[in-house]
A and B are shown apart, each in its own frame.
Chain A
C-alpha cells in the first residue's frame, strides 16, 4: 500500500515534469505552444531537458515499483530531491530578480512583478515538498531488510 501511494505520486510527478520539460524545450526552439503564458513556461532548451530528466527518474520508479522491485522507491526519493534542488535554483533566480528590481533598479526590470519570475520549477517543486515531508524517514525505514 505504501508503495502504491509512492507509485501514484511518481507517475503524476513524472508525467508533469516530462510534459513541462518538453514544453520548455519546444519554446526554447521558438515553437509557440500556446501554453507559455498561462503556465509561466519560459523557452529554455537545457532547462527543459533537466525537467525531462527529473520526470524520467520518477517514471523509472513507476517501472520498478510496478515490477515489484521495492528498491524502486529510491527513484521516487531521488526524483523528489532533484525537483527540490531545481526549486531552490529557481527561487534563487527569483531572489536575483528581486535585487535587480529593488536594489539595482535596472532599466530592464521596469514594471517587473514577482509573478514574472515564477517558474514551473517552483510550483511543481511544491508537490515534491509535500511528498518529502510526508514520507521523509519512512523512505529508508520501510526499505530496511531484515
Chain B
C-alpha cells in the first residue's frame, strides 16, 4: 500500500527549541538550502510515521506574521502560498503570553495548527500549571506537550498532526478588534473580495486585517490589483500607526483573557530584569539613563587610568635613560630614543585608558544593558532613517570601527547597513583617545574629562545628523522596524569582562608593536633626512624634526591646507601619518616636537605657544571627523563592495572635519575665546 504523503511546517518564536524539535522529528534526514530568492536558510527533512510520509519544513523563527523582516515574509509566504497540511507551532511553555501572539496570527490566517507545548517541564518546575485540555478548548487547536531536547512527546505530536490532517472540519478563528476597527475590516473585506485573484489566494478577512496593520508586503500585493484605488481610499481615512498599535493591543487583550483560564496556577514572577527594564526603557528616562551610564564609563576610563599611565610613563622614561646611557652611536641612539621609544612610548602610555575603556564596554555588554540601549535608541534611530539594530554596531565603534563595521552584517536592510557603515567612523574609536587625552590634559586641566566626553558626544551627533542627511538624499528609503529579544540581566563577572577587555586591548598592543612602530620609524626617518640643499648630517640634532628635514619640507607643502584651521606644518604631518593609524598622530608629534615619550614635555611645548586651547580643540574635532585609518577604509571597501562609497566616506568626513575645525578656530578667534 502506498504511503500517504503530507507536509508540515514548523513555526515559532526564535529560541523556543524549534530546531531541536525539527532534529528530533527528522533525525539525520535533512536538507539545508536557501529559500527561493533570499539568503534565509531553509531546512527540510523527512519522517515516516506509521503509514504516513511526512515532509517537515522548518520555517524561520518569527514573533509575528506581519512583514517586519525578511524572516517573517518567508515564513508567511510559505504558510499562505504553499499551504502546508498542518502548521506545528512550537510554543515556549515558560512564555505563553508572547508565544500565543503568533498563534493568534496563524489562527487568523486560517491554517490548520497543532501546538507543540515545548519546555513544559521547565514551566512546571517553576510552578506553572498549564491545563492543556482547557487550552485546546479555548483555542480549538490540539495541544501536545513536548520536551524537544529529550525527544519527549514527538510521537504524540505526529499522531495529532496526522489526525488533524485526516479531520475534515476546520474552525476559522477570529480576534475581535472592537467596533471601529471591525467596521473598517468589513469595509475592506467587501472591496478585496471583489478581486478574484486576491480572494482566491488569500483569506479575505486576513488581507483586510493586514492592510489595516500597515503590512508593506500586502500593500504591495494590493497595488497591482484591480481594487488598489478603493483600498487606498479606505486606508487614507485611518492613522496607520494608531491602528497597528490598537490591533496589537487587541490581540494581547484576547491572549490575556484566555491566559488565566489556561493556567491553573500561572505565576508571573516579576524579576529584577523586568524591574530594571521598566526604568531603563522608559520613554523619558531611557536616553538620559544611557547617557549617565556612558559618562560613568568614561569617568572611570579617564580618571582611574591616570596613575597607571604614570607608571607606563615612568617605565618608558627609564628605558629612554638606559638607551641614552648605553648606545654610543648617535644615529642608532636617535632612532631608538627619538624614534622608537618616543613614538611607541607616547602611544603605549595610553594603554591603561584603552584597556579600561574596553573593560567598561565589556561590563556594559556582559550585563545585558547594551541590548536595552539599542532598544531605547530605536525611536531616535528610526527618525534618522535607521533602526535600533544599527545602534549596536555604532556603539561598538567606541572600541574600534573595524569590527564595528563588520558587525553591520547583522542588519538585514541593505540601505540601512550602508548608512550605518558610512557613519560608523564618526564614532570615536579608542585609537583617537590618545590625541584627546594629551590635548585636553594639556589645555583644559580639570575640565579635560568634560571636553573629551563632549568630543565623544559630538561624534554621536555628527553620526546621527549624517545618517539623517544621507538617508534623506543619496540613500533614500524607509527604515525597517526593529525587533529584538532582550536577554535577562546578568551580573558580569570580572573574569569574563577582563578576557573580553584583553581580546580587544591586545589588538592595540599588537598595533603598537607593528604598524605604529613602522609608522613612527618612518616619521623619524623623514625627520632625520636633511632637506635638499641643507648641509647637515643625517639624524643630527640641528635637523631632527625641524624645517630643515625632509619632513619639514613635506610639512610646508601641505601646511597651506590646514593653516586656515590654525594648525602648523608639524600638525599637518602628524595628521597625514594618522591615516596609517590614529595613534601615530601623537607619536608623530612626540618625534616632531623632539619631546620623546615625555607627554608632559610635549604638553609644555604646546601650551607654551605652539598651540592655543582653540587650535587644540580644533585638532581634537578634526581628528574625530577626518578620514579614518587605513584598516577602517579597507573594511568599508570590503563591506560596501564599492570604491564609490568608500571615497564618499573619506571625502565627506575630511570635508566635515575641515569645516568644523575652521568654524571652531574662526568663531573662537572672533569672540576672543581660548586664544
Q: Tell me the A residues contacting B by CB distance below 8 Å.
A: 28, 43-47, 49-50, 53-54, 56-57, 60, 71, 73-75, 77-79, 81-82, 85-86, 89, 92-93, 95-96, 99-100, 103-104, 106, 139-140, 143-146
Contacts and interface: CB of A to CB of B under 8 A. Distances in A.
Interface of B: 267-272, 274-276, 278-280, 282, 284-285, 288-289, 291-293, 295-296, 299-300, 303-307, 310-311, 446, 449-450, 453
A44 B291 CA distance: 15
A44 to B, nearest CB: 7
| Leading 8 A-B pairs by shortest Cβ distance | A78-B279, A99-B307, A74-B275, A74-B278, A143-B270, A50-B292, A53-B292, A53-B288
B279 A93 contact: no
Q: Is the interface of B mostly helix, strand, loop or mixed?
A: helix
Contact of B299 (A47, A56, A143): A47
Contacts of B276: 74, 77-78, 81
A144 B272 CA distance: 11
Contacts of B278: 71, 74-75, 78
Nearest to B305: A96
Given A74-B276, A96-B306, 5 more contacts: A60-B279, A100-B310, A103-B307, A104-B310, A146-B267
Contacts, number: 104
Nearest to A28: B450
Given A56-B285, A78-B275, A96 B303 contact: yes
A92 B304 contact: yes
23 contacts: A45-B450, A47-B295, A49-B288, A49-B291, A53-B288, A53-B289, A60-B282, A74-B274, A74-B279, A75-B279, A77-B272, A78-B276, A78-B280, A85-B293, A96-B303, A96-B306, A100-B307, A100-B310, A104-B307, A104-B311, A143-B270, A144-B268, A144-B269
A99 B303 CA distance: 12
A92 B310 contact: no
Contacts of B269: 140, 144
Contacts of B295: 46-47, 49-50
B292 A93 contact: no
B267 A144 contact: yes
A93 B299 contact: yes
A82 B280 CA distance: 10
Nearest to A69: B278
Contacts of A82: 289, 292-293
B275 A85 contact: no
Contacts of B303: 92-93, 96
A124 to B, nearest CB: 14
Given A77-B275, A100-B307, A144-B270, A46 B288 contact: no
B518 to A, nearest CB: 32
B220 to A, nearest CB: 41
Nearest to B310: A104
A103 B310 CA distance: 10
A56 B285 CA distance: 8
Nearest to A43: B446
B115 to A, nearest CB: 25
Given A74-B274, A140-B269, A54 B292 contact: yes
A24 to B, nearest CB: 11
Contact of B450 (A46, A78, A140): A46
A44 B448 CA distance: 11
B279 A96 contact: no
